[in-house]
Amino acid sequence: MNIQKWVLYLLTLTSLLCHPLFALEKEEHGGEHGDKEEHRVHLTPEQRRIAGIVVESLVARPVAEEVEAPGEVQLNAYASSQITPRIEAQIVKRHARLGDAVTPGQPLVTLSSALMAEAQGAALVAAMEWQRSKKLGTQVVSEQRHIESRIAYQQAQARLLAYGMTAIQAESLIDETDVSGVDGSFTLLSPQAGTVIRDDFIVGKMVEPGELLFEITDESRLWVEAYVNPEAVFRLAIGAAARVRAEREWINGKVIQIHHALNETTRTLGVRLEIPNPHDRLHPGQFVSVRIHTGESDKTALTLPLNAIMRSPDGDWQVFVEEEPGEFGPHEIKIVRQLPETAVIEGLAAGVRVVTRGAFFVQSELAKSGFEVHNH
């Protein structure tokens, strides 16, 4: 009875294996060798040349060491200016607004002051007296009077400058010798090229000396204050390469200053970086991640350019390996660590030939061939 059951079982199993549906499923899935073959793409030498495909053997190399720390974007104080009046005055007219790009010498705001009017009048009188003394000469005017008139003229000019007029404005006022210009008005100019980031005032307002009217900064290069553990600071140096991650992008910069006193709240040491700010993507007050280069490690690892690493349809990281001359297939890898323009990887052995340039083209050709880009 048992022998009959086993014979019946074997006959049933044999019929199932021979069934057309089972055979079709086997063909669709393929064996291990077939799977590897179908997930490759062949590129001719001409295709590789036109696409600029570069294939290199993986080599273990020393990896850069970095210190990681949180950071905050700040204004570059060395590329910023604050515009304030030097005397009590009234705001007469605004010439620039928040967000405006300004150039050196561009008018920002016109003020009016009784103190300036007095100084302008005194300067005009002193200038006329000095011109008269020079014209008559020391044969007519005493030496003492000649010197006194010259000193009075220089002091009057200096007062105009001290009150907020520029040298050109003061000279223009004196050269015209027109009393109608002695009205106490004067215009503050931009001392630098940059962007207006503050202008909190209203026309007609009376302002005191030192009251902030405008703040201007060159946003093309900003500072980032990194808050570094004091134990790691000894590994850092002025001029060391650094990078800042903001909005999923790394921006390269460098260390320009290291503080000598701990932050009382965080008990960290401030390390100041300078970074470019193309397209005005970063703004003061923004929090970022910072990595500062400290040198090369004694250990080696396999690395690849970031452009050589693609995303598979499954969302995994993959690269394209040259299986045979001209034939490329996807292989999944793991990114262990990301460096500037480079990634430390695992999942392949040293010596494997990988597409380091033109990986996107290989991926596109593989997709066009109608195969899924997987690596089972």
Give the span between the Cα atoms of 300 and 58, in whole angstroms. Answer: 12
Q: Is the dihedral of CA 349, 350, 356, 361 positive or negative?
A: negative
What per-residue confidence (pLDDT) applies to 38? 53
For residue 376, what pLDDT band results from cuts at 50, 70 and 90?
A: very low
**Start-to-end CA span in the chain (Å):** 45
Residue 2 pLDDT more than 60?
Answer: no
Give residue 37's pLDDT band: very low, low, confident or very high (50, 70, 90). Answer: very low
Q: What is the per-residue pLDDT across 47-76, written as a single tens digit (0 to 9) for each?
A: 999 999 999 999 888 877 888 899 999 999
State what percent of residues in the chain have pLDDT above 90.
Answer: 53
What local confidence, expressed as pLDDT, does residue 32 receive?
41
- Which amino acid makes up residue 63? V
Residue 30 pLDDT: 39
Three-state SS sequence of 80-96? EEEECCCCCEEEEEECC
| 24, two tokens | 């079709």
What CATH number is given for 39-63+299-368 in this structure? 2.40.420.20
Q: Is the pLDDT of residue 195 over 80?
A: yes
What are the extents of the domains in the chain? Answer: 39-63+299-368, 66-77+219-297, 83-111+184-217, 114-182
β-strand 249-262 against 241-246: which pairing, if any? Answer: antiparallel
Assign a CATH topology to domain 83-111+184-217.
OB fold (Dihydrolipoamide Acetyltransferase, E2P) (2.40.50)
Pick the range with the lowest mean pLDDT from 18-22, 79-83, 320-324.
18-22
Could you tell me which residues are beta bridge partners of residue 273? 224, 255
Cα 50 from Cα 61, distance rounded (Å): 30
- Whether 337 shows a pLDDT value over 50: the answer reads yes
Read off the pLDDT of residues 290-336 as tens digits, 9 standing for 90 and up.
999 887 666 788 889 888 999 888 889 999 999 999 899 999 999 88
User: Cα angle at 260 between 256 and 262, to 5 degrees?
Assistant: 115
Count CB neighbours of 279 within 10 A: 5
SS3 label, residue 265:
coil
Do the first three CATH levels of 66-77+219-297 and 83-111+184-217 match, i.e. the same topology?
Answer: no
* Fold of the CATH domain 66-77+219-297: Elongation Factor Tu (Ef-tu); domain 3 (2.40.30)
pLDDT digits (tens, 9 = 90+) for 139-189: 777 888 888 888 999 999 999 999 999 999 888 887 766 677 788 999 999
Question: Which ranges of the chain would DSSP assign to H, the alpha helix?
Answer: 2-17, 20-29, 32-38, 45-51, 114-136, 143-163, 167-176, 230-233, 359-368
Q: How far apart are CA 56 and CA 357, in angstroms?
A: 9
pLDDT tier for residue 281 given thresholds of 50, 70 and 90:
confident
Residue 158 structure tokens: 């200096």
